[in-house]
Structure 1
Amino acid sequence: MPAVKFYELDTSRRLQMLVDEGLIDERDRATLAPSRALPEDIGSHLIENHIGAFPVPLGLAEHFLIDGRALRVPMATEEPSVIAAAGNAAQRVARSGGFHTRASRRGIVAQIVFRQGDGVGGDASGNRSGGRSGKRGLASFLAAHRREIGDVADRAHPTLRSHGGGLCGIEVRRTGEFVEFDLLIATGEAMGANTVNTIAEAVAAYLSARLAGFDLLMAILSNKADDQRVHVEARIAAADLATSTMPGDEVASRIAAAARFAEQSDLRAATHNKGVMNGIVAAALAAGNDVRNVVAAAYADLDAEQRTWTSWRVADGGLCGSIDMPMPIGVVGGAVSTLPVARLAMTMLGHPGADELMGIIASVGLASNLSAMRALVTQGIQAGHMHLQLRSLAMTTGAQGRELEVLTRRLQADPSRASLERARVSLDAIRAEHASKGEASAGRVHTADGREMIE
């Protein structure tokens, strides 16, 4: 009898196989156990070869005032200080009226690409006896078939029109040996990737049957989301930017200068943009959206002429900032509707529409950028990060509860010498002190590397 393949097993049998092979032990199996945050039946239907979940901490960034609405924004991230920094900046912005957003959501572009066959004399009008396949012939072909193409698109996804979507534009162009039909498809409130690809493949089959002398190469959506854009503006009074050692107007001037430098330096722009993405990815992930799509679209928008999505200038007695970027997201379908935590995040946001969610996510990105640059041009980035970094180091040792706080304070006493080895030595000392005072947890012994053994 042939061996059962890994992908044919259910989750529990896959885990048993890993235990039998010595890749994990029983403790590891327990770590991978299903939870209410991601039940096994959902996880195993979302991905292939499912063995468990990889939890990312979920937090709330406070103090956001977006288009007059106060929000705590769910953010999913493993990086310390990201959520606190976004909330800190949002509070400063809120004192001057909050974030103001506008979004444009026309649709998603799908590309249907043909390659002209070698030595084929057909034209682009379906006439196999020959003719021109140049730009004019392609335009004539499209004009003659536009209505039928629309019907094909509607039949491919019959319910899309009832949700405010459907094919709303098509263009044709020639690029070297390739002929490209670009379809603009509105997807309503959904992310729409599967919908767009379904329509694209149906239209591609229709075109392929009528374009003599052309070989269908592919039909696929584009992640370049020029037709899904968001713009957010914010103002911060100079007084709300001041530190204990630097007046607010000077801080504002320095932030504006740092922003101008990012527009001129590739090296700085990369880090500047990473700070924006700290917020955007965390907010998009918490809302169950495809962060790879969001990131791909955002970076496709940049070039040598435009290196960043944000801009900052001194004006109106303070600092004025804006962010303008593609934001291909949705609020129905996919993981948004499937993942329990994503559904909960959307509930906490008040079930926003797609346009509103675009503004929320972009506002978090702008806040993250403001917080990072204010720290950079004043006290430096490490001062604000240090406590959270040392706490993260303490957690790596396995410190828990009260001992985690004690260990973090001891590491803070001499942060320049902090290391994992020193943290483990300090943790052993803390536990020895607690044991001598009778404070050790009954029935538990911790090893030097922080692992816990049940006696």
Structure 2
Amino acid sequence: MDRVLLEKLKKGDVSFHEVGHMLDAGAAIELRRTAVSEITGTELKHISNFSFDAEDVTKHNIENMIGAVQVPLGVAGPLQVKGEYANGNYYIPLATTEGALVASADRGCSVISASGGANVRIFGDVMTRAPVFRAKDVIGAKNLVEWVSGHFQRLKERAEGTTRFGELLSVEPFVAGRSVYLRFAYDTKDAMGMNMVTIATDAAVDLVLEENDVDLVALSGNMCTDKKPAAINVIMGRGKTVSADVIIEKEIIMEKLHTTPEKMAEVNYRKNLLGSARAGSLGFNAHAANIAAAMFIACGQDPAHVVEASNAITTMEPADDGLYCSVTLPSLAVGTVGGGTRIGTQQECLNMLGVAGAGNPPGTNARKLAEIIAAAILAGELSLIGALAARHLSNAHAALGR
């Protein structure tokens, strides 16, 4: 190791970023890690262990890399899914440090599979980016809205000129005084698509500025809405809008969940629906974010999009001497190409589900993944509501999650 360069790094004469231009990826990682270890007085013996391609991830996924953080990976299932893209039994990879979560999901998978599987359907598939413009006044704002309405095809051509697969589906205007937000919505096929739609929208913005007397304030004006709780994603959708349901016989509920359909329906009503409404929540569910986060981490998704995945609505109601259960996710942002999906460990998890890489035709793998995640979230909801109805939650956490 170059001790002279190490001392410069520790003193700040050379930045962590600059080291990446001086050394190959492995040497730069080791030098940064040694500097951090010596500066902070911390022995960093665990984060140095990883098996993925450091050269690749430092080009595409991370800056100033010093190592990797390991998250335990469990599996739940098999989970029977009856979707338009996912059809079969799947073993669900869950990366988490929360004890009892995998066991709970596994129990939910067992309930669903014993009931013949979860029906899953996708009702919407759009990724959005919403720049904000400043007009001179509301007259200028109205002029821009009318211009967009009359020039959609030109905006579409400009945006799609930046991508092989992306397709601009709509541009929806929203106005606040002289501020105009244009919510561009795209089909991004197998990519989650945030980078794709950002680049495409930037190109379309140039056309807006060329032909309108307005100024661009920001390429994202928070009407997208990306990685933040927002009613617009619940109402209009973002990513995949997907629903999963199952009817569970009373005998299965009593045998596997040790409660009754009536108790589960009441827990869901008073907790997920009334309780969430009283709290002003955008998510009307028990713990959709738990399963989404664990699958996102395992499968190379952007964990920040869990905030949008948590906009889920869980319903339970008596049906056919049993219980009808559903979960609807209006804004599930997932993909099977790009981002963290190319990293070795995450690729293996995607391969477990049969969704790694681009689908044929394009878009089918990402939709298959969305259907599997929706069914897994339904499994998580069933298990937790069952535990609450049977008053088993604290016992499970005492045994498995301490």
Give the TM bin, normalised by the shorter chain: 0.7 to 0.9
Partner Cα distance (2:392, 2:203) in 1: 55
Change (3 A) 1:17 1:140: closer
- The two structures have a TM-score, normalised by structure 2, of 0.81
- Which of 64, 71, 74 is the aligned partner of 1:59? 74
Counterpart of 1:44 in structure 2: which amino acid?
T
Decide whether the 8 Å contact of 1:102 with 1:232 is kept in 2.
yes
Match of 2:335 in 1: 330
> What's the secondary structure of 2:390's corresponding residue?
coil
Partner Cα distance (1:269, 1:182) in 2: 25
Residue 40 of structure 1 pairs with residue 54 of structure 2: yes
Residue 17 of structure 1 pairs with residue 35 of structure 2: yes
Change (3 A) 1:353 1:94: same
Report the structure number with the largest CA radius of gyration: 1
> What's the secondary structure of 2:292's corresponding residue?
helix
Match of 2:385 in 1: 373
> What's the secondary structure of 1:79's corresponding residue?
coil
Counterpart of 1:5 in structure 2: which amino acid?
S
Residue 205 of structure 1 pairs with residue 211 of structure 2: no
Decide whether the 8 Å contact of 1:272 with 1:369 is kept in 2.
no
Cα offset, 1:360, TM superposition: 0.8
Match of 2:287 in 1: 275
Counterpart of 2:196 in structure 1: which amino acid?
T
Decide whether the 8 Å contact of 2:257 with 2:383 is kept in 1.
no
Q: What's the Cα RMSD here? A: 2.6
Cα offset, 1:62, TM superposition: 1.4
Structure 2 residue ranges without an equivalent (≥5): 1-7, 20-27, 227-232, 356-363
Partner Cα distance (2:302, 2:191) in 1: 12
> What's the secondary structure of 1:189's corresponding residue?
coil
Match of 1:219 in 2: 219
Decide whether the 8 Å contact of 2:94 with 2:294 is kept in 1.
yes
Change (3 A) 1:273 1:51: farther
Match of 1:253 in 2: 262
Match of 2:229 in 1: none
Change (3 A) 1:383 1:243: farther
* Pairs aligned (count): 355
> What's the secondary structure of 1:108's corresponding residue?
strand
Structure 1 residue ranges without an equivalent (≥5): 124-131, 302-307, 391-455
Alignment of 1:124-273 (within 5 A): 132-133=139-140, 135=142, 137-157=143-163, 159-160=164-165, 165-212=166-213, 214-220=214-220, 221-223=224-226, 224=233, 226-227=237-238, 228-242=240-254, 251-262=260-271, 263-266=273-276, 273=285
Match of 2:18 in 1: 8
Decide whether the 8 Å contact of 1:98 with 1:235 is kept in 2.
no
Match of 1:345 in 2: 349
> What's the secondary structure of 2:130's corresponding residue?
strand
Cα offset, 1:144, TM superposition: 4.2
Match of 1:386 in 2: 398
Q: Deviations over 1:153-177 (max 9, x none)?
A: 12222x12xxxx3112223342222
Change (3 A) 1:145 1:276: closer
Cα offset, 1:59, TM superposition: 1.2
Partner Cα distance (1:269, 1:166) in 2: 35
Decide whether the 8 Å contact of 2:95 with 2:295 is kept in 1.
yes
Decide whether the 8 Å contact of 1:138 with 1:172 is kept in 2.
no
Q: Which has the higher contact order (CA 8 A, sep 6+)?
A: 2
